[in-house]
Amino acid sequence: MACVFQIVGKKDSGKTTTILEVIKELKRKRKDLIIAVVKHSHHVIDDENKDTFKFKKEGADLVIFHSNDCALFFDCKDFDYLSLFPADIILIEGFKDLNLGDKFEIRSPEEAKEIAENISKKAEGCISYPNIEINGEKAQKSLLTFFLYTIMKKYGIKEIRIAD
């Protein structure tokens, strides 16, 4: 499982700035890290007047909204998706009432740099990447191979063979 760090604080306290600093610092040291970010919001993503809402209401299990530059996946059932993230590091902004990982509370933007440094140091100590083989050869680290590994590990799958 990924290293999970949760940044909580009041509005405009520096949560986003802290996360940006952590990403910048970790990527500077290791460009191969896969970092995921979850941002909590009180705003509604999908209101009842939108087609994506109607698709879910009719029974679609997964809805993907795709624009010219981005895709959003809608699956509004539960919060277990964290365990499926193909990431070395998961940074969570918000969800202050939940304990989702190492929690850091920020009170002012001036604390952002120091908290980001603390998170970066902790992250370096918990990152590990498994040896993954595909077709008998060591696989390069990528979002896809990490995603496959994460799903297989979560569900106890040791091997998949495709029979043509």
pLDDT digit string, tens, across residues 94-122: 989 989 999 999 999 999 999 999 999 99
Angle between helices 15-29 and 112-126 (to 10 degrees): 40
- CB atoms near residue 30 (< 10 Å): 13
Where are the domain boundaries for CATH 3.40.50.300 in the chain? 3-128
pLDDT digit string, tens, across residues 34-71: 899 988 877 776 778 888 888 888 888 777 778 888 87
List the CATH code of the domain at 3-128.
3.40.50.300
Question: Which residues have a Cβ under 8 Å from the Cβ of 98 and sit 6 or more positions away?
Answer: 6, 79
SS3 74: strand
Give residue 74's pLDDT band: very low, low, confident or very high (50, 70, 90): low
Question: Which residues have a Cβ under 8 Å from the Cβ of 95 and sit 6 or more positions away?
Answer: 6, 8, 38, 40
Give the start-end residues of each E strand in 22-83.
Answer: 35-39, 63-66, 71-74
Give residue 77's pLDDT band: very low, low, confident or very high (50, 70, 90): low
Instruction: Provide the b/e sequence for 50-65 (b: ≥16 CB within 10 Å).
Output: eebbebbeeeeeebee
